[in-house]
Every structure is written in C-alpha cells, then in structure tokens.
Amino acid sequence: MKNFRLLLMMAMVAVLSVVLVACADDSDVDPAAENGDDATTENGESTEDASGEASGGGDLVISEASDIVSLDPHGNNDVPSSNVRNNMYESLTYLDENMEVQPRLATEWTEVDDTTWEFTLKEGVTFHDGTEFNAEVVEANLERLLDPAVASPRMFLYEMVTGVDVVDDYTVHINLEYPFAPILAHLAHDAGGMISKEVIDADYEAALSEAGEEMSVEEYYELREEGGESHEEVADAITDEVGNHIADNPVGTGPFEFESRAAGENVVLANYAEYHDDENAAQLDTVTFKVVPETGARLAEIETGSSHIAGGAEPTNIDRIESHDSTEVDLTPSLGLSYVGFNVEQEPLDDPLVRQAISYAIDREAIIEGIYEGVGTPAEGPLAPGVFGYDDSVEGITYDLERAQELMAEAGHEDGFDIEILTNDQPQRIDTAVYMQEALAELNINVSVQQLEWGAYLETTANGDHDMFVLGWSTVTGDADYGMYPLLHSTMHGDPGNRSFLSNDNVDELLEAGRTETDPEAREEIYSELQEGLVDIAPMIYIHHQDFVTGINSNVENFEIDALGIYQLRETTVSE
C-alpha cells in the first residue's frame, strides 16, 4: 500500500470525487423560537448585576460541530442531542465514573422476582413546568416509549418491559417479559429521561388534533391499553405528529431548563433554580450549545473566548490547543467504537468473503496514526476494553493485502467493482473515507465518497440507501448487550443502530441469550462466542476505540467529559 502520508498529500485530488449534498435544516426537529437569551454577551461572558459582580457560575458557551436532532429523550441516538438532553432530563438511575449504577430519581430498588423490579421514587421533585414527579410520571414515560405511535428508535432499550404498576405515589413496579440483567443500566440511559406528564399529554393532544382524530387523550390512552387493530389505526394516523410538541417544549427535572433554540445555530439552557438536589445543583447561569461546523473555527472560538468549550477538537489539533496561552486539551478514553459499516443487503457486500476481503485491505494502524495522530486503541471487535462482556482473547481481522486479494478472487471479484461510501462532515470520517478510496483501489474497487449533513446522513443510512458508511457507536450502558444488540440484531435495522442491516439467526440467538441470562459468567461466555463469530461474518470494519479530544478555554473550571462522550456540567464554572 502507498505510504499514508502520500495519501494525505493526495487528499485535495481525491476530494474531487466527494459529492457534497447541501441540506438546509434538520427535518426531524421543529425549530424553536429565535434565541432570545439576554443573559450573555456575544462572546458568552457572564452578565453583571448592579454591583458589577457576576450573577453566578457564569455563562458557558460550547461550540459543537453538529446541530442537535431532537430534544425529545425518546428520540434519536445521537451524541449532540444527548449532550443537551443530559442537562435537562433525569432518569431513575445513572452511571457514575466507574460505570456503576447509582440512584437519581429512584432512591432505591428491589428485585421482587426475576421479572419484577420495585422502585422507590424520590419525593419533592418538580419538573421545570412546576408539576410533580411521581409514579404516574414513570408510567406515562415508559408507556410512551413503547407506544408504536411514537416509533422511538430507542424502544429496544425497554422492549422487555410489559407494563408499569403504580403501587402508590412514590412506588412503581416495572414488569419484564423475561429476566434482563442490565435493566438498571438501561434505565440510566438518556432514553430513560423523564418528561413532564403534562407535556406528554399535551403532545398527544396536539398529535390527535393535527391528525384529525376526534378523541381525547384519555380515550387514546384507553385505546392504547386495549391494543388491537383500532389502536394500530390511530397510532399510524398520529405517528408523524407525535413528538412535535415535546421538541418545542422540552420539560424535565434536570439542573438546567430549556430557554431557547435557533435551529442550525444554538440551543440555550438556563439554571433551574428549583432543582431538587442542592448538593448536585448546577453552578452555571446558562449553557449555550453553539453550532460551529468547522473545526478550525471552533478552536478560534475558544482561543478568543467567544466560546469556552470546543467539542470534537480532533487529535490533529492537540498541539495547537496545548501551545495556545488561553486553551488546554481534555483527553478522555471512551467506551466508543469508530467503524466502517457494510450494508450487507447490497450486492456484492451481501457476500461475507467480499466483506472480509475489504476488511483485510484496511490498515487500522495507518488510520489511527495518520488520521487520529496515534490517539486511541485499535479495535478487535465492537466492544471496548472496560465493557462487560469484552473478550481480549478474540483476534479480529488485521491488515493483510495478500489475503484480501485471495478472498476477492475466491468471491469472483478479481476485477473489482464500483461502490459508494457515505460520511457526514466530521473531518476524521471524511479522511477515513478518502483513505478507503486509496486502500481499496489495491483490490480494483472504485470507491466514490458522498458527504452528507448530519441529519440527512442519519436518515439515509437508517433507510438503507447506502453501500458503506463511516460512523461510531458508544456503549453507554457499559454492557455488551447495548454494545452489540442494537448494532447487530435483525430487529434493529436502521435508526435503532443496525445500519449494516445484518440478519443472522445465530447472531440473534446469542444476543437474545446474552440479555436473558442472569449469571454473569454465563453471559461472558455467550458474548465471547458471539465476538468470535463476528470475525467471519464481518458486518463492519472495527477501526478503533477513540479518545475524546476536547478544547477548553483556561477560564473554565471543573468541566468533565465522561467515557460516553457526555459533558458533565453540574460543577462547571466560568471565571472572568
């Protein structure tokens, strides 16, 4: 293979083959009102009161590469949206820095039997709209998540839930279809964020009205409880309308409340003064998530103080950040995976020999060194070290061009073929796609690269309108079930995670066995067998487990990013 540095020199030529598709907005998100925030100056500095002193912990501005997709926690599985929602919504449990389950809106829990969990809820918690958090709220949220009208791509996280019983105001029973070992970790997921019941009711009311369905919300809930064809018909009728009200009126119990959104520009959150946990209340007055697509522009933002945090700063910019007087770098190992996925339903990628051949032709070390500046750990499979179920004895496919050529010949494709690879506008993904062009030319494969805006990229790959794609996945529960089930199970095609569109009976059986087995050692054996089998199936090229690179202005204190890539802002402050 040609020297990788030469490849980068050729990037300006190779990029001529990139097709840029312009998208004006994100069709999955309804724009809120224009940013009316008057709590910050243009550069995000804290306003002062009459005495000339800052009003609190300051006004933090975070520059992000991509806009959010949805403010509905039951919506999309993307990190930009999760970073905003994580500060507005709270779940029953959460994962601490050691990925251990801790209480949040639930104070304690008991496993009544293999399929019943009892949760005691925290009292005195109010939503941002002043309504009370209680057992009925938990019931309303989980029932909404499972409602086919919502069509939540996150439903798989709770598909084992058969119902919620309200025992009293602050006690609920969550009933499961089968024993599910990681249920507490799943409840800690962003998808488990609790929405105000009044907002949920208003969302359904608006959806029914927009769809022309003449029934009350209570009547719809009764119909949903009954199930059957009548509910299916109404659910189908309102599915395009459900969620629109919540997207514009996100109301949780978190330390920050929604203030404004300008689609494609920013989201502004304000400190929630009535937050229920004084010890863990936010210090900041406001947080602005500002969309700045160009990496260089995000770095310039923190260098000038226009922003305080530059998300996705990329390893190639570490020296720049460290050498500037006003900025520093945060480098956090992740539980994430960067990968190149195959759509296994598309010819000739439906042949595992072709997928193996392409995998053998890719030098992961060259990608990590040449694109990621050596930052990150080569991936042998979908799970990162530290995730429950990870097996360090499994050896994945490594670079072997001769073997790749042999497999192409065995598959009957010595002369190669034409194929397309999709990427969003993240620079390292673009570079990876360009690298793929060069590498696969050695197999006579002609690769064209198509670059899409983030929302369009997610929609296109969810619909299966692609051959190959460059993406990432973070095992946010710290458990192999989340690390593999959504990526590989046949029921997870598209938006939930399986953008490879893999359907394999043995894979499905192992994934189902892994999530229903309660003995930890038996679960580890199941996931080891699965990881070994994936080597031959080759549904994707596992590149590396990345480190998150974040640029920080020096006047920011106590900012953290966790192993899931989510900003931890409760203790963060901005000094003058």
Name the pLDDT band for 79 (thresholds 50, 70, 90).
confident
Cα atoms in the 13 Å half-sphere on the side-chain side of 30? 13
**28 domain residue, yes or no:** no
Give the Cα separation of 329 and 299 in Å (integer): 11
pLDDT (average), residues 117-133: 98
Residue 118 has pLDDT above 50, yes or no: yes
Give the residue from 216, 247, 278 where a domain finishes.
247
Specify the range with the lowest mean pLDDT, choosing from 27-41, 128-142, 361-375.
27-41
Q: Which domain holds residue 488?
A: 334-545
pLDDT (average), residues 290-316: 95
| Residue-level pLDDT at 48 | 39
Residue 251 has pLDDT above 60, yes or no: yes
CATH at 294: 3.40.190.10
| Residue-level pLDDT at 565 | 85
| Residue-level pLDDT at 77 | 74
CATH at 154: 3.90.76.10
Residue 341 CB burial class (10 angstroms; 0-12, 13-18, ≥19): buried
The H or E element spanning position 566 is: none
Say if residue 186 is in the same domain as residue 208.
yes
Q: How far is CA 533 from CA 160, 270, 327, 387, 536, in A?
A: 26, 48, 45, 18, 6
| Residue-level pLDDT at 545 | 94
**83 domain residue, yes or no:** yes
Say if residue 283 is in the same domain as residue 237.
no
Query: What is the chain's Cα-based Rg?
Result: 24
| Residue-level pLDDT at 99 | 85
Name the pLDDT band for 97 (thresholds 50, 70, 90).
confident
Order of all β-strands in the sheet with 106-113? 106-113, 116-121, 171-176, 161-168
Give the residue from 247, 279, 301 where a domain finishes.
247
| Residue-level pLDDT at 15 | 37
Number of C-beta neighbours around residue 464 at 10 A: 14
**44 domain residue, yes or no:** no
Say if residue 391 is in the same domain as residue 469.
yes
| Residue-level pLDDT at 42 | 31
Between 306 and 29, residue with greater pLDDT: 306
| Residue-level pLDDT at 5 | 38
Between 291 and 75, residue with greater pLDDT: 291
**22 domain residue, yes or no:** no
Say if residue 83 is in the same domain as residue 170.
no
Residue 303 has pLDDT above 70, yes or no: yes
Average pLDDT over the chain, rounded to whole? 89
**32 domain residue, yes or no:** no
Query: What would the pLDDT profile of 527-572 be if each residue is shown by its tens digit?
Result: 999 999 999 999 999 999 989 999 999 999 999 998 888 999 999 9
Domain count, the chain: 3
| Residue-level pLDDT at 51 | 33
Number of C-beta neighbours around residue 106 at 10 A: 22
Say if residue 399 is in the same domain as residue 443.
yes
pLDDT (average), residues 118-145: 98
Query: What would the pLDDT profile of 456-479 be if each residue is shown by its tens digit?
Result: 999 999 999 999 999 999 898 889
| Residue-level pLDDT at 358 | 98
In 3D space, the residue among 337, 417, 382, 368 whose CA is nearest the CA of residue 537 turns out to be 382
Say if residue 65 is in the same domain as residue 148.
no
Say if residue 279 is in the same domain as residue 374.
no
| Residue-level pLDDT at 78 | 82
| Residue-level pLDDT at 43 | 33
Say if residue 58 is in the same domain as residue 121.
no
| Residue-level pLDDT at 1 | 44
What proportions of the chain, in percent to the nearest 5, are helix, strand and coil? Answer: 35, 25, 40
Residue 49 has pLDDT above 50, yes or no: no
Say if residue 389 is in the same domain as residue 320.
no
Say if residue 289 is in the same domain as residue 173.
no
| Residue-level pLDDT at 175 | 98
**149 domain residue, yes or no:** yes
Give the Cα separation of 327 and 570 in Å (integer): 21
Residue 141 has pLDDT above 50, yes or no: yes
pLDDT (average), residues 160-184: 96
Is the alpha carbon torsion for 183, 187, 192, 194 positive or negative? positive
Give the residue from 247, 273, 304 where a domain finishes.
247
- DSSP reduced 3-state for 543: strand
Query: What would the pLDDT profile of 193-203 be if each residue is shown by its tens digit?
Result: 999 999 999 99
Say if residue 397 is in the same domain as residue 503.
yes
Give the Cα separation of 345 and 498 in Å (integer): 12
Say if residue 306 is in the same domain as residue 187.
no
Give the Cα separation of 38 and 260 in Å (integer): 11
Question: Contact, 271 vs 256, CB < 8 A?
Answer: yes
**175 domain residue, yes or no:** yes
Name the H helices within 10-64: 11-14
Residue 55 has pLDDT above 50, yes or no: no
The H or E element spanning position 489 is: none
pLDDT (average), residues 311-321: 93
Give the Cα separation of 290 and 302 in Å (integer): 12
Give the Cα separation of 22 and 15 in Å (integer): 16
| Residue-level pLDDT at 182 | 92
